[in-house]
Structure 1
C-alpha cells in the first residue's frame, strides 16, 4: 500500500535553505529538515545547484547532525538535469541527462570569458555537469556584481549567437537559423545559469513525483518553496497535474504573480515582518510545519 503523508516539501536551496550571502545552511535548518523527514514528511530538494554543492552544503551537515539510518532524501539538481538520493551513509548513484547539456565548446568559451574579463566579480562553477553557471564571489559587493552581470549576460548571449545557437534571456529572444531557441540565459541575484530551455523547476517537480512513486509515496498535498519567480514553476506543474499545492515565496518583494490557482504564502502569513526573507523565512516555515506535526 502506498504511504500518504499529509504533505511533502519541494525545496529550492539558494534562498529558502542556504543563505544567498554565505551559501551555508544553518544548524537549525539542518535540524528542522531532519525532524520533518523523521516524522515521515518527504523532503526533496529541487535546485539549480550542482550535486556537489548539495552533497557538501546539505547532505554532509545532515549526516553529521545524526541522520537516521532509515531516512531517504532526494535531490534534483541543475533544474532537473541531474538527480540522486542520499541517506545516513552518503549519496547513492548520480543520474545525468546528458541530452540536456550545454555544448562543450560553448562552455569552454564561457570559462575563458570569465577568467579574462569578469574574474573580479564572479567565478565559473566547475561542479556543473549539464548547465554552465557563473557565480558571484562571496567577497564581492553584490551591487557591483549585478552591474558586471549585465555585461556578462550580454557577452554570453553574443557567444551563443556566434555558436549558431538560439537563446533567450528574460524577454529577449534570439532564435537560431531555424528560428529555434534551445538555450536560456537565466540571471539570479548571485549567479547566471546558461541552460537548455527544457530544464526548469517544473522538470524538477516531475522528477520528484517519479522518485516518490518509486518509494510508493503519494503525498496528500505539497508545499513548494522558493525565492525567485522561476520557482513558481514547481507549483504550476503540480497544480496542472491535479495535486493540492501551496507555494511559499521567501522573497516576495521581487513581485508575486497574480491569477495562480493555488495559495501563495509569505512570512507575513506567519505573522512576521516584510524584512524576514530568504533562509530566515525558510526556517520560520520549517518551524511552523514541525509544530503542526507535534
Structure 2
C-alpha cells in the first residue's frame, strides 16, 4: 500500500494507440511524451494505460521507454490490456522487465478454434494486408501492416470483418460489428467485432474501455487514494466509455479526444480537444506538457 494519504489532484486513464503511440509507426515517436509521463508519475499522478493492445506490446513500446527514462520506484503506474482482459503494475520495483506478473481473465477469451481459423485466414488470403497478433491472450486482433497505406487497408477491412462474423455465426454465436446499426446477427450477442483505423479487434462483449476503467480503479485502490479528478484520453468514439464509466460512478472527469474528426458526442462531462488543432500523439504530447506545467505550478 502506498504510504501517501492525500488524494492526488489528477489521475490519467490513457489509451495508447493515437494519444501516446503514433498510429503510423505504432511506437512512441515523440520523446517528450515519455519524459512527461515520467514527470507526472514522479509527483504522484496515477497513470493507467487502458488499451486494446497486448501486455507484450505495452512492455516493449511503453514500459521499456518509461523505465529507461527513469520511472521511479513506487510510482502509481499500471497497465490494463485487451480492454480489461489482462492487467499488471509497472515500475522498476517489479524486476528487470519493469512489470508485475500479468493477470488474465481466461473466462473472456475467444474460442481457440475460432482464433486458429482467423490466423489461417490472415495467412492465406490477407497476408499482403494484415498480420495476426499472436501476443493477445483473450482477444483476436488483426492489424494493418505498416507497409500498407491506410486507404488500401480501409478499402478491404470490411470484407475481412465479414469473414470473421461468418465464422462466429457458423459456430452458433451471436455477434455484431460495433459500428453497424443493423440488427444483431443471431440471438444473444456474445462476441463483438470492433474495427479501428489500423486493426480489427474481435472480443467478448464484456470487454471494453469501460471494463478497463473498472480494472484501473481496482488497481489504484490497492496502492493509494483515488484521484480527485480524472482525464481520460483516446482517439476513437469507443474511448469515451472510460469517461462514461467514471462519470456514472460519481467521479469528476473530462475526456480528451485527440481525433475529434469522428464527431464529438453529447456527454454529461466536458470534452477537450487540442487548442492547436493537433491530432493523435501530437495532441497527446500537447496535453501531457500542459498537465506537467500545471503540477509544477
> Scaled by the length of structure 2, what TM-score is found?
0.94
1:228-286 CA-to-partner distances (Å, cap 9, x unmatched) read 0000000000000000000000000111102x110000002xxx1x3x10000000000
The correspondence for 1:278, drawn from 277, 280, 291, is 280
The answer to whether residue 142 in structure 2 is matched with residue 138 in structure 1 is no
State the match for 1:61 in structure 2.
65
The answer to whether residue 202 in structure 2 is matched with residue 194 in structure 1 is yes
Matched residues in 1 for 2:291 and 2:69: separation?
Answer: 20
**1:71 shift after superposition:** 2.0
State the match for 1:7 in structure 2.
10
The answer to whether residue 289 in structure 2 is matched with residue 292 in structure 1 is no
Matched residues in 1 for 2:166 and 2:209: separation?
Answer: 26
State the match for 2:184 in structure 1.
174
Report if aligned partners of 1:10, 1:222 keep a CA contact under 8 Å in 2: yes
Q: 1:134 aligns to what SS in structure 2?
A: strand
Matched residues in 2 for 1:99 and 1:3: separation?
Answer: 36
State the match for 2:161 in structure 1.
153
State the match for 1:85 in structure 2.
89
Q: 1:247 aligns to what SS in structure 2?
A: strand
1:72-122 CA-to-partner distances (Å, cap 9, x unmatched) read 410000000000111123111110000000100100000001111111010
Matched residues in 2 for 1:222 and 1:67: separation?
Answer: 21
TM-align CA RMSD: 1.1
The answer to whether residue 265 in structure 2 is matched with residue 257 in structure 1 is yes
**1:217 shift after superposition:** 1.8
1:172-201 CA-to-partner distances (Å, cap 9, x unmatched) read 44344xx21100000000000000000000
Q: 1:112 aligns to what SS in structure 2?
A: helix
The answer to whether residue 32 in structure 2 is matched with residue 28 in structure 1 is yes
Q: 1:74 aligns to what SS in structure 2?
A: strand
Matched residues in 2 for 1:175 and 1:140: separation?
Answer: 31
> Scaled by the length of structure 1, what TM-score is found?
0.95
State the match for 1:39 in structure 2.
43
Report if aligned partners of 2:194, 2:201 keep a CA contact under 8 Å in 1: yes
Structure 1 runs not aligned, ≥5 long: none
Matched residues in 1 for 2:204 and 2:48: separation?
Answer: 22
Could you list the runs of 4 or more consecutive aligned residues of structure 1 that deviate by over 6 angstroms after TM superposition?
none
State the match for 2:136 in structure 1.
128
Structure 2 runs not aligned, ≥5 long: none
Q: When the two structures are aligned, how many residues end up with a matched partner?
A: 286
Matched residues in 1 for 2:118 and 2:90: separation?
Answer: 32
